[in-house]
């Protein structure tokens, strides 16, 4: 685990954990509670609108997100074992990611989604979303499945990003 001062750090591409599939959470214990609390803190401090456990080096099916993304009145939420149960429509949106540094790209996603999961008390939650919240939820659930938003863009754009990143990483050495 990549920790500093007992807190989790955001993992960045090409870290292999970002390509792993997270495991279903069967027991919501103190470890999961602490992970969720830390993820909320990291997301809000970044600042970001969503974060998946893979992004902090944990292969647990847990996401945190802001129910009011892009607005001043933050409404942070934790969702365990989220799954998309309904998708409708199509929308293009310029996405970025805390784990994919210095890059954004237009991605096609479903315009409306219905997500099902449980909260930190194990209580079932259904979330119907559209707009930026729908995009955020799909983006974070992709992370839990080892998928990055750059997987949704053209091979050429992805290759250009990888080349730019390789150059940047070489310059840091």
pLDDT in tens, 44-89: 999 999 999 999 999 999 999 999 998 889 999 999 999 999 999 9
* Total number of domains in the chain: 1
- 145 pLDDT higher than 50: yes
Catalytic residue among 58, 60, 95, 140: 140
Domain assignment of residue 20, given as a range = 3-172
The length of the chain, given as a count of residues = 173
94 has catalytic annotation: no
- State the CATH number of the domain containing residue 56: 3.90.45.10
Up-side HSE of residue 27: CA atoms within 13 Å toward CB?
Answer: 3
Write the DSSP symbol of residue 153. S
- Alpha-carbon distance of 22 to 125, in angstroms, equals 19
């Amino acid at each position: 685990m990549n920790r500093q001062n007992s807190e989790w750090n955001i993992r960045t591409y090409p870290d292999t954990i970002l390509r792993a599939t997270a495991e279903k959470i069967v027991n919501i214990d103190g470890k999961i509670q602490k992970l969720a609390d830390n993820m909320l803190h990291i997301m809000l401090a970044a600042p970001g609108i969503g974060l998946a456990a893979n992004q902090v080096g944990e292969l647990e099916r847990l996401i945190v997100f802001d129910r009011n993304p892009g607005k001043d009145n933050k409404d942070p939420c934790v969702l365990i074992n989220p799954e998309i149960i309904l998708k409708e429509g199509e929308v293009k949106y310029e996405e970025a990611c805390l784990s994919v540094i210095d890059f954004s790209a237009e991605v096609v996603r479903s315009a409306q989604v219905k997500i099902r999961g449980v909260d930190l008390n194990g209580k079932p939650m259904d979330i119907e979303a559209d707009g930026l919240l729908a995009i955020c939820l799909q983006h974070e659930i992709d992370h839990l499945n080892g998928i990055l938003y750059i997987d949704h863009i053209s091979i050429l754009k992805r290759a250009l990003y990888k080349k730019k990143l390789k150059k940047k990483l070489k310059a840091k050495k």
